[in-house]
Structures are given as structure tokens and as C-alpha cells.
């Protein structure tokens, strides 16, 4: 082994009386474990602070978003859905055309733990498969399950036969929850 | 010779202190893990009012952790905190 040169000499009396194996020497000492726990604590604090900061910045972000055409929405059959991205390429959204022909669009992230919701044709509602939450397809409000608030709503307009997304509104806590 | 045998070992009790430190650090880490989960939950739910208290609580846990690591070390049985050597005059 290349690191055999780094093996400490057994100088202390107890090391001579109770020699330990090479593998045991590689075990973590209490001091190292303490330091590791300290680093873990710092990482957990950084995670909490970072998540809170991002949430606060998102809350202050401007809501003036450009309108975007939703490709393929015109041919969407009633009681079906279509996935698209709005306002950015990373912001997944879902367009639902209810049985009465009306368009409704929502952010696809479940408000519980951000799993993607999907439209259930059989139940005519948006469902989250992760923790069995469900949202009303017409309003985005919570029907049941752990989500604490309604889905983010995307404003939809029909302009000359084309469906456009024109804005996005985040529901407040308790709104439909 | 007999006096040396009855003399307490210099490191006696330090193991218990080390174990106590480790247990406290693990407990604080678990609490911080819970705080992080609560922070994520609150951020996703847009409960902004509880975010700051959660971050502050996590920061307090970090300070306690650092204080345990840096300052709450096992004290020597030979020396007091002021440097007095116990039993030196014997």
C-alpha cells in the first residue's frame, strides 16, 4: 500500500499492549467526528438561510411577465391537458381544457413539495402522485391532501383563436387550502 | 507506589465528557435538520413570516455547536481553569 509509510509508530505503552489493526486506525476519531458534526451544522444553517433567502427574493420579484403563445393549445380536446413552460424554460406549467371547453393554466409544481401535478381525466382534477394531493381543475384550489395552498395560476387569454399565457400569480397561504 | 495507584488517572472522566459532547452535537444536528425541513415547507407554502425565526433558530443551533466544539472541552484533572496544579504541593 502506498500509504503504509504514513503509519504511526506504536510509541505509547497502551499501543504496545493493545495493538490495533491497520484498518482500525483509519476509523474516525471522536475529535474528527465532532468537527464533522460542526460542518454538518454549518451546512444545515446555510441550507435553511439559502432557502429562506431565495423564497424572499422570489416573493419580491416583479410579476410583469411577457405574454407567450402556448403551442398546440388550439387543438387541445376538452377534458385533457397539455404541458408547457411559462414564463421561463425551467418553469413547467400545465394547461387544462375542462369539459366545458374553458382553458385554465397552472404552475405544475405541487405546493406541498414541488412534485409535478398531472390532470386526471377520470376524476377531472389535478392530482399530485407523491403525497396524494388534489387540486380543482377549474380554480386550482386544494381539494384534499397535504398541499398548504392553491396552485400558482397562469392567466390565459384566447387571442384570434390562439391561446396565450399572459401572467402568473402565486396563491397566498390558505387560499383554497 | 500505593499513592500512585490510588491517584486518579489524568484522563478519568474525559470519556464521559466527550460522549456528552457528541450526543449534544448529534441532537443539535437533528434539530437543525428538522428546522431545515420546516424552512423548505414554509417557503413552498409561502409562509414568509416564519422563515426568519426558523433561520435564526438554525443560527443559534450553529452557535451552540461551535461553542461546544471550541470551548466546552474536557478540563484537566491536574490543572484548574486558573492554571493551579492540583496536588502539586504534595
At A154-172, the pLDDT tens digits run 999 988 888 999 888 877 6
C-alpha A118/C-alpha A134 separation (Å) is 9
Query: Which of A45, A111, A170 lies nearest to residue B62, judging by beta carbons?
Result: A45
Distances (CA, A) of A63 to A51, A60, A154, A155, A169: 20, 9, 11, 12, 8
To 10 degrees, what angle do helices B51-70 and B14-44 make? 160
| Contact between A173 and B47 using a beta-carbon 8 Å cutoff | yes
pLDDT tens-digit series, residues B13-54? 777 778 888 899 999 999 999 999 999 988 888 888 899 999
pTM: 0.63
| Contact between B45 and A111 using a beta-carbon 8 Å cutoff | yes
Interface residue of A30, A43, A44 to substitute, partner B, most B CBs within 10 Å: A44
User: Is the ipTM value over 0.90, yes or no?
Assistant: no
C-alpha B21/C-alpha B66 separation (Å) is 11
Q: What is the pLDDT of residue A177?
A: 42
Q: A63 falls in which pLDDT band (50, 70, 90)?
A: low
Q: Is A88 on the interface with B (CB under 8 A)?
A: no
CB atoms within 10 A of CB B74: 14
Q: Is A169 on the interface with B (CB under 8 A)?
A: no
Query: Which of A42, A48, A171 lies nearest to residue B36, judging by beta carbons?
Result: A48
Query: Which of B26, B32, B55 lies nearest to residue A52, judging by beta carbons?
Result: B55
State the nearest Cα–Cα gap between B25 and chain A, in angstroms.
6
C-alpha A177/C-alpha A112 separation (Å) is 11
Considering only alpha carbons, which residue of chain B is nearest residue A177? B45
Rounded (10°) CA dihedral A43, B34, B29, A48? 20
Amino acid at each position: 500500500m502506498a500509504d503504509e509509510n504514513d503509519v504511526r509508530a506504536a510509541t505509547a505503552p497502551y499501543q504496545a499492549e493493545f495493538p490495533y489493526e491497520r484498518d482500525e486506525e483509519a476509523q474516525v476519531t471522536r475529535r474528527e467526528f465532532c468537527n464533522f458534526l460542526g460542518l454538518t451544522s454549518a451546512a444545515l444553517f446555510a441550507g435553511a438561510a439559502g432557502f429562506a433567502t431565495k423564497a424572499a427574493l422570489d416573493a419580491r420579484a416583479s410579476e410583469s411577465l411577457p405574454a407567450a403563445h402556448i403551442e398546440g393549445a388550439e387543438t387541445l380536446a376538452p377534458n385533457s391537458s397539455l404541458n408547457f413552460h411559462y414564463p421561463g424554460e425551467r418553469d413547467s406549467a400545465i394547461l387544462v381544457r375542462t369539459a366545458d371547453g374553458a382553458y385554465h393554466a397552472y404552475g405544475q409544481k405541487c405546493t406541498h413539495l414541488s412534485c409535478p401535478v398531472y390532470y386526471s381525466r377520470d376524476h377531472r382534477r389535478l392530482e399530485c402522485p407523491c403525497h396524494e394531493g388534489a387540486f380543482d381543475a377549474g380554480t386550482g384550489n386544494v381539494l384534499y391532501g397535504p398541499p398548504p395552498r392553491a396552485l400558482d395560476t397562469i392567466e390565459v387569454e384566447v387571442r384570434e383563436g390562439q391561446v396565450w399565457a399572459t401572467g402568473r400569480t402565486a396563491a397566498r397561504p390558505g387560499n383554497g387550502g | 507506589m500505593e499513592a500512585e495507584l490510588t491517584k486518579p488517572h489524568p484522563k478519568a472522566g474525559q470519556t464521559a465528557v466527550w460522549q456528552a459532547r457528541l450526543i449534544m452535537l448529534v441532537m443539535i444536528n437533528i434539530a437543525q435538520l428538522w428546522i431545515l425541513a420546516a424552512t423548505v415547507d414554509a417557503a413552498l407554502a409561502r409562509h414568509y413570516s416564519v422563515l426568519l425565526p426558523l433561520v435564526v433558530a438554525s443560527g443559534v443551533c450553529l452557535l451552540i455547536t461551535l461553542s461546544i466544539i471550541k470551548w466546552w472541552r474536557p478540563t484537566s484533572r491536574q490543572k484548574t481553569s486558573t492554571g493551579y496544579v492540583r496536588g502539586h504541593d504534595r
